[in-house]
Amino acid sequence: MLLPRSLVAAGIALGVAVAAPAFTGTASAAPKPIVGGEQATSTYSFMGSIQVNGGHYCGASLISPGWMVTALHCTYGNGPLPASALRVRIGSNDHLSGGTLAGVSQIVRPSNSQSMPGQDIALLRLSSQVSNTPVPITGATPADNSATRL
């Protein structure tokens, strides 16, 4: 599967941002997933509610009209969740209404990342592109063949 460079760059940039806190503190400190939080008072066009069986399950961010990024642990229940089990409501503070509702056609999980600290990232390919504005991640596209690390 080939992805556009800008999408790969966005995923890498976000992955680095997500993974960076895992490398602070002591070497034995395990990263902690972000859970809980507070009710948002503003609407963000790029924020999504991952839903399983009609209920809110986890959050995700729109990084292009057809792709979202989320935490890897959000793609597991008692095992890996199939893409067909997920729907995403994008751009609404209400998990039950408003915004744009989209299906998920593919989940991209890094191989072996469940056992690797700091690798809590996954991509969701939407069943169709949405008109919501993606979150701005980077102002420049990396050059071809640039060395990157996630």
The three-point CA angle 132-10-33 to 5° equals 90
**Domains of the chain listed by start with CATH number:** 43-138 (2.40.10.10)
Percentage of the chain modeled with pLDDT above 70: 69
Distance CA 39, CA 97 (A): 16
Q: Are 75 and 106 in contact (CB under 8 A)?
A: no
Q: What is the mean predicted confidence (pLDDT) over 131-139?
A: 86
pLDDT, position 114: 57
Residue 14 clears pLDDT 60, i.e. is over it: no
Residue 76 has pLDDT above 80, yes or no: yes
Where do runs of H (alpha helix) occur along the chain? 5-19
Are the CB atoms for 122 and 69 separated by under 8 Å? yes
The pLDDT value given to residue 6:
53
Residue closest to 102 by CA, chosen among 82, 83, 121:
83
Better pLDDT: 114 or 100: 100
The H-or-E segment that residue 61 falls in is strand 55-64
Taking the C-alpha atoms of residue 82 and residue 94, their distance in angstroms, rounded to an integer, is 24
Q: What is the pTM of this model?
A: 0.69
Model confidence pLDDT, tens digit, residues 28-63: 344 455 566 677 778 889 999 999 999 999 999 999
